[in-house]
A = this chain, B = another copy of it.
């Protein structure tokens, strides 16, 4: 029963996202989702450099700005960019997505929920500004990225 509810919920979440825009060609969906992940990774890199590696000076405003960028992207409904026809390379767009993702939307919705929660928490800790809290929140966010990559991103 729990699985059924999760399944319906996952489907509803994805379908809500899908109806919110005109249908995009699969190639554009892949391009936009990769842009989102790429831009998040730049911002993860900045936080890592400041709060973890201490390779550059710790700057709360810059960490908060990076966290807000990640959070804004995480909450933008990227599920809509995993529509039919985006399971494999299309035209010039190569994708590393594991086609298994498309048979497991309820689980993907759960992983996505964890990711959004972790990015919310990162914003909260960046607002608070304590470096040790930012480090912990950053590690949690990294784990939530990896949880999905391990399952649904191919090498």
A residues sitting closer than 8 Å to B (CB atoms) are 17, 19-22, 24, 31-32, 34-36, 38-39, 42-43, 45-46, 49-50, 53, 55-57, 59, 62, 65-66, 68-73, 75-77, 81
SS class, residues of chain A in contact with chain B: helix
Contacts of A56 in B (CB 8 A): 19-22
Contacts of A36 in B (CB 8 A): 35, 39, 42
C-alpha spacing A57/B15, complex, angstroms? 13
A68 to chain B, nearest CB (A): 4
Known: A34-B35, A72-B73. 12 other contacts (CB 8 A): A20-B49, A20-B62, A21-B45, A21-B49, A22-B55, A24-B45, A35-B35, A35-B36, A43-B76, A62-B77, A69-B75, A70-B72
- In the complex, the chain B residue whose C-beta lies closest to that of A43 is B76
C-alpha spacing A108/B103, complex, angstroms? 46
C-alpha spacing A138/B53, complex, angstroms? 39
C-alpha spacing A17/B72, complex, angstroms? 20
A39 to chain B, nearest CB (A): 4
Count chain B CB atoms within 10 A of each CB in A17, A32, A39, A50 and give the residue with the most.
A39
C-alpha spacing A65/B74, complex, angstroms? 9
Instruction: List, sorted by A's number, 17 A–B pairs whose CB atoms are closer than 8 Å.
Output: A19-B56, A19-B57, A20-B46, A20-B49, A20-B59, A21-B46, A22-B45, A22-B55, A32-B38, A35-B42, A36-B39, A36-B42, A42-B81, A65-B75, A68-B76, A69-B72, A69-B76
